Amino acid sequence: MFKSELTEILQIDYPIIQAPMAGGVTTPELVAAVSNSGGLGSIGAGYMTPEQIRVHIKKVKELTSKPFAINLFVPSKFEVTKSEMESASQNLQSIRTELNVIQDDVEVPIYENMVKTFNEQIKLIIEEKVPVCSFTFGVPSLEVIETLKKNKIIVVGTATTVGEAAEVEKSGMDIVVLQGSEAGGHRGNFMHGDQESLIGLMSLIPQVADQVEIPVIAAGGIMDGRGLMASLCLGAKGVQMGTAFLTCEESGAHQVHKKTILQASEDQTVLTKAVSGKTARGLNNQFIVEAEELQTAFPEFPVQNALTQSIRKAAAQQNKPEYMSLWSGQSPRLAREQTVAELMEKVIFDALNIINTN
C-alpha cells in the first residue's frame, strides 16, 4: 500500500522519515527505533564532531540492522567583526545574570574550520557506509555528492521553494525534502529570503511535484496518519516528522521541552533568529522576547548560536523552559507521549483507515 520508488530507494517499509533534529534529540535509541519500526531514523549530526558521529553510528548499528540516515549542515560563509560579536554578547548579559551564567570567552566560529570538519564528517560517513546522507542549509559541492553516490550512499537535499527543489535535483541528489512553513526548528532556505520561502505544504508540495522528477518528502506539521495521507495526495512520496518524534520516549529532548510541547497550542510558535542567528520556529518564551527587545539584528549563524549556548545549557540544567530553545512545528496539539513503535503503528493504522473510508 505504501510502496513507492521512495521506499524502494531507501529500502524501508513505510514512507516515514524521522527528522534529523540536532542538539541531542536523535539518540541512537530514537534512530534505531524508527528504523526498526519500518521507517527511516536519522542522526542529526550537524553540531557533532567526527568522533562523536563515529560513536553515535556504532551505537545505532548495535541497535538496528535496518537502513538509517545521517544529516549534516552545509557550511556557508558568514561575516562578523569582533566588535559586533562583543556587542551582541553584551546584549545577552542581563539574561546570563538572571541564570547565574558566567560567560567564558566564546570561540568565534571560523568558516575554514567548519569546512574542514564537514569534509571529515563526509569521509567518516563513507567509511562507516551510512546508507543515507541528508543535507540542510544548502547543496554541497558536486564533488561531495558524486563521492557519496559512488559509494552507494543515497543523498537527500532540503528545499523550501520550487527553485531550491530544482537546484537539489540538478545537483544530482536522489531525493528532496520539502520543508513547509509549518516546520519546527531551523529554516532550510538557501536561495530565497526568509519571507519568500515560508510556503505552506498545501501549496509547496504540488507545485514542486509538478516540476521535479526525484521523489519528494513533505516536512512540517505532519504528526499522524492524516498528515501522511494528505502529503501523498498532494504528490509527496513520503513524510518527514520532527515534533511527533521529539516527544517520544526514546527521544533525547529535554523533559521540559517535551512537556512544554505537550501542553502547547498551534498559535504559540514564532520564527526567530535570536537563538542561533538563523531563522527557526519554536515555542515563544521569555528568552526570545527579551533577546529581540535587546537587539533587532543578530550576528549570523553560527555566531549567535555560539553566543547563546551557555544560556541554553544553564536553562536546561535549571529546568527553565523560559530560556531554552523550544523548537516545535505548528501542530503541538497533535504531540503525544508514547514510544516510537506506538507512534509508527498509529500513523499507519490511521492512514489505512483513511484509505478504506474513501
Closest to a second copy by CB, 1 vs 102, is 1
Closest to a second copy by CB, 220 vs 302, is 220
The type of residue at 50 is P
Closest to a second copy by CB, 23 vs 206, is 206
Q: How far is the CB of 75 from a second copy (least distance, A)?
A: 24
The Cα angle at residue 282 between residues 279 and 287, in degrees rounded to 5: 90
Closest to a second copy by CB, 121 vs 272, is 272
H-run or E-run covering 70:
strand 68-73
Q: How far is the CB of 158 from a second copy (least distance, A)?
A: 16
Q: Which residues bind to a second copy, rule: CB under 8 A?
A: 1, 161-163, 180-182, 192, 195-207, 210-211, 218, 220-224, 226-227, 229-235, 265-268, 270-271, 329-331, 333-334, 354-355, 358
H-run or E-run covering 136:
strand 132-136
Closest to a second copy by CB, 64 vs 284, is 284
Cell triple for 207:
507545485
The Cα angle at residue 85 between residues 318 and 306, in degrees rounded to 5: 40
Distances, alpha carbon 121 to alpha carbons 22, 110, 127, 211, 278, in Å: 15, 17, 10, 32, 22
H-run or E-run covering 325:
none
DSSP state of 173: -
Closest to a second copy by CB, 60 vs 244, is 244
Closest to a second copy by CB, 147 vs 284, is 284
Beta strand pairing status for 216-219 and 280-283?
unpaired
Long-range contacts of 203-207 (CB under 8 A, 24+ apart): 204/160, 204/161, 204/162, 204/178, 204/180, 205/178, 205/180, 205/231, 205/234, 205/235, 205/236, 206/234, 206/235, 207/162
Cell triple for 205:
508540495
Choose among 178, 118, 177: nearest CA to 143. Answer: 118
How many Cβ atoms are within 10 Å of 79's Cβ, its own excluded?
9
Beta strand pairing status for 154-159 and 132-136?
parallel
Closest to a second copy by CB, 148 vs 264, is 264
